[in-house]
Chain A
Amino acid sequence: MSFIVAENLVKQYGNGDATVSAISDISFQIESGEFIGIMGESGAGKSTLLSIMGAMNAPTSGNFMVDEIDVYSLRQEQRADFRREFLGFVFQSFHLLSYLTVAENVMLPLTTVKASRKQKRAMAEEALNNVGLNDKANRLPSRISGGEKERVAIARAIVNEPPVLLADEPTGNLDNKTKHKIMELLQKLNTRGVTIVMVTHSLQCAKYAQRILYVSDGLLVENG
């Protein structure tokens, strides 16, 4: 069985005549260690698909399994634990907490993990080292550049070493040079065994993915 399995995923919003299908009958499989790109036009259902894969948005019907765990059969709190242990999120707008330093932002997913302060600090340092930001650990997010913010967001996503990294337009707000650096970073993480699923509009970024899932009007129109 594949590491990630989506079977006949349907997501509808609203009721009755006002029902809108965000995604319709999407099925795919992802192997451990793959780098997947999700592409499609605006409103095609990419973000909905990513949020379902992020255990944050229950599908109207269908199954979604990760490592043979039926994610949406878990209770809400178990799903929170699942997110903490299995997933790392990289958001388009970074979503860093402005009142925490870079290191503290990176340590955030470790807050509820049973580990000593020293251990947490070491894990954060390692994650920052991976993204090349060790020297900016004590800065506030407002004191670093957009590219650096994205790298902090990646460090936060990988600090607890999750097997899957979900990235929603990780280079959407960055210039070409920085975009390239971030994509190289994601590729580096992928070579270390992290499964990456990335939503992107950019063909440049999509080139880094091993496989593309193309979504159009809520349907998976291309898988390869």
Chain B
Amino acid sequence: MTLKEIALKNLIRRKGKVAFILAGLVIGVCTVVTIISLVEAMTSDINKKLEKYGANILIVPKSEKLTLTYGGISLGGVAFEMEEIREKDLVRIKSIKNAANIAAVGPLVLGVINVDKHKVLLAGTDFKAIKILKPWWKVKGNLPIENEVILGDETARILNLRTGSFIEINGQKLRVSGVLQPTGSQDDQLIFSRLETAQSLLGKEGRISMAEVAALCTACPITEMVKQISDALPSAKVMAIQQVVKSRMETLSQFKKLSYGVSAIVILVGSLVVLVTMMGSVRERTKEIGIFRAIGFRKSHVVRIIFIETAIVSGFAGIMGYLLGLAATKIAVRFFTESQSVSIPINFELAGWAIVMAVLVGLVSSAYPALIAARLDPNEALRAL
């Protein structure tokens, strides 16, 4: 006979009380695991979306002049007179420390052209990079090859052109391979061609007006990468597009705080359930504890029996709570994220923490009942029967 065996037999005998403690702790652990897993899943989902969001670093020529445009409205006064970036300099981006985090670099050459008495902005770009930089683009037709262009939706409307039409730019006849569906951005008012085509038409061979960079956000320090690119391209101005990232992350951070608050309350309720149940259990076991003490059990032996019982139940509650939390997360994640493909893998670290937390809450909550039990005077306990 050992203290552990006494504890185990007691648990088997008191199934109702064990179930009550188990339920209190399982609900607590399950809630915490669900909340943490959900926040992790949502963070991962947002990160994935941010990766898909496109360019998050902008490289533009350095200028000492201020722009006088706001919300797409030009107030005039500033000419397009910056020193452009040399295309071959962009190669240096691939040598920065966090080069592995760069998903795509999209050079862009810009210039004004005349099409049928209209002044239009021609943009030359790398269409392989565009797929990553602007994943929301939908082209009615095909992406352009040599001597082809695609038109922004607004441009196509104003110039009354469609896929298959031909336009003449600086004496060169180009075929419209497709029309960009409305994006709600400036892209609707542009004509796009391959980078080399635009450079040739604009007389800007080997030069680019700006470059967009898509960095993988999950593992990359954007601010650090901006500095690294700035060092690699000292003649260019490098900026991070942080607004969207920050606002989403802030929302998530608020949600996290709320979640942790809710978790704390649930754990508190769980620990109260353990406390009340164990107090009741100690009261019911006055005779048993009196016998233990009368036959020579020390106070510490009585405390150990109660702690072993609680540790077994709460450890089991930790495992059950984690598994139920995992299942609950898989269901809840569908309601909290748009993506249906968010995976919730078994997180052994979280599982370990769930078990440790459950045991800790159980032990702390049963400390007072254990103390009461240990303090029971054996003579009083046996006389009270």
Chain A contact residues, CB within 8 Å of chain B: 47, 51, 54, 56-57, 76-77, 80-85, 87, 89, 91, 93, 95, 97-100, 104, 107-112, 120, 156
- By beta carbon, the residue of chain B nearest A51 is B379
> Are B379 and A56 neighbours in the complex by a CB distance under 8 Å?
yes
Tell yes or no: B382 within 8 A of A by CB.
yes
Q: With A80-B296, A81-B298, A95-B382 given, can you name 8 additional A-B contacts, CB distance below 8 Å?
A: A56-B293, A76-B299, A77-B298, A83-B294, A99-B10, A108-B292, A111-B3, A112-B297
> Are B296 and A109 neighbours in the complex by a CB distance under 8 Å?
yes
> Are B296 and A84 neighbours in the complex by a CB distance under 8 Å?
yes
**Given A108-B1, A111-B2: A83 in contact with B295 (beta carbons within 8 A):** yes
Tell yes or no: B378 within 8 A of A by CB.
yes
**How far does the Cβ of B204 sit from chain A's closest Cβ, in whole Å?**
90
- By beta carbon, the residue of chain B nearest A82 is B296
> Are A85 and B296 neighbours in the complex by a CB distance under 8 Å?
yes
Tell yes or no: B88 within 8 A of A by CB.
no
Interface SS of chain B: helix, strand, loop or mixed? helix
> Are A111 and B301 neighbours in the complex by a CB distance under 8 Å?
yes
- By beta carbon, the residue of chain B nearest A52 is B379
> With the chains together, A211 CA to B18 CA distance in Å?
50
> Are B299 and A112 neighbours in the complex by a CB distance under 8 Å?
no
15 contacts between A and B (CB under 8 A): A54-B379, A56-B293, A83-B295, A84-B295, A85-B296, A95-B382, A99-B9, A99-B10, A107-B1, A108-B1, A109-B296, A111-B6, A112-B297, A120-B1, A156-B295
Chain B neighbourhood of A120, CB < 8 A? 1
> Are A99 and B12 neighbours in the complex by a CB distance under 8 Å?
yes
Tell yes or no: B40 within 8 A of A by CB.
no
Query: Which B residues from 276 to 300 make CB contacts under 8 A with A?
Result: 287-288, 290-300
**How far does the Cβ of A99 sit from chain B's closest Cβ, in whole Å?**
4
> Are A99 and B299 neighbours in the complex by a CB distance under 8 Å?
no
> With the chains together, A17 CA to B337 CA distance in Å?
75
Chain A neighbourhood of B10, CB < 8 A? 99
Tell yes or no: B13 within 8 A of A by CB.
yes
Most chain A CB within a 10 A radius of its CB, from B1, B2, B3, B300: B1
Tell yes or no: B75 within 8 A of A by CB.
no
- By beta carbon, the residue of chain A nearest B13 is A99
Q: Which of B6, B287, B297, B383 contacts A80 (CB 8 A)?
A: B297
Chain B neighbourhood of A111, CB < 8 A? 1-3, 6, 297, 301
Tell yes or no: B219 within 8 A of A by CB.
no
> With the chains together, A109 CA to B300 CA distance in Å?
15
> Are A104 and B1 neighbours in the complex by a CB distance under 8 Å?
yes
> Are B2 and A95 neighbours in the complex by a CB distance under 8 Å?
no
8 shortest interchain CB distances as A-B pairs: A84-B296, A107-B1, A56-B379, A99-B13, A57-B379, A83-B296, A109-B295, A80-B298
Chain B neighbourhood of A93, CB < 8 A? 385
> With the chains together, A110 CA to B297 CA distance in Å?
10
**How far does the Cβ of A28 sit from chain B's closest Cβ, in whole Å?**
20
> With the chains together, A76 CA to B293 CA distance in Å?
10
> Are B382 and A112 neighbours in the complex by a CB distance under 8 Å?
no
**How far does the Cβ of A156 sit from chain B's closest Cβ, in whole Å?**
7
Chain B 167-187, CB-CB to A under 8 Å as 1, else 0, gives 000000000000000000000
